[in-house]
Amino acid sequence: MKNIVAIYTGQGLAEPLQDLLFKHLPEYRLTNIIDDGIIRDVIRCGEVTKPVIRRLIKYYQTADDMGADIILNTCSSVGEVVDIARNIIDAPILKIDEPMAKHAVENHQTIGVIATLPTTLDPTIRLIQSQAKLLDKDVSIVEGLAEGAYHALIAGKRQEHDDLILKIGQKLAKQVDCIVLAQASMMRMQEVLQQGIGKAVLASPPLCVQWIKSMSEGSSL
Q: In this structure, are 75 and 10 located in the same domain?
A: yes
Q: In this structure, are 59 and 119 located in the same domain?
A: no
Q: In this structure, are 77 and 139 located in the same domain?
A: no
pLDDT tens profile 129-142: 999 999 999 999 99
Domain that holds residue 119: 98-205
Rounded to whole angstroms, the Cα distance separating 95 from 86 reads: 11
Under a CB-based contact definition with an 8 Å cutoff, are residues 111 and 178 in contact?
yes
Rounded to whole angstroms, the Cα distance separating 214 from 221 reads: 7
Q: In this structure, are 113 and 200 located in the same domain?
A: yes
Q: CATH number of the domain at 75, please.
A: 3.40.50.1860
Nearest one of 187, 143, 188 to 169, comparing CA atoms = 143
Choose the final residue of a domain: 31, 60, 95. Answer: 95
Under a CB-based contact definition with an 8 Å cutoff, are residues 111 and 180 in contact?
yes
Confidence band of 63 (pLDDT split at 50, 70, 90)? very high
pLDDT at 96 over 70: yes
**Structural domains in the chain (count):** 2
Q: What is the SS3 assignment for 30?
A: strand
Q: In this structure, are 91 and 105 located in the same domain?
A: no
Sheet strands side by side (includes 2-8): 28-34, 2-8, 70-73, 93-95
pLDDT tens profile 9-22: 988 889 999 999 99
Q: In this structure, are 32 and 86 located in the same domain?
A: yes
3-state secondary structure the chain: CEEEEEEECCCCCHHHHHHHHHHHCCCEEEEEEECCHHHHHHHHHCCCCHHHHHHHHHHHHHHHHCCCCEEEECCHHHCCHHHHHCCCCCCCEEECCHHHHHHHHHHCCEEEEEECCHHHHHHHHHHHHHHHHHCCCCCEEEEEECCCHHHHHHCCCHHHHHHHHHHHHHHHHCCCCEEEECCHHHHHHHHHHHHHHCCEEECHHHHHHHHHHHHHCCCCC
Q: In this structure, are 110 and 62 located in the same domain?
A: no
pLDDT tens profile 3-56: 999 999 988 889 999 999 999 999 999 999 999 999 999 999 999 999 999 999
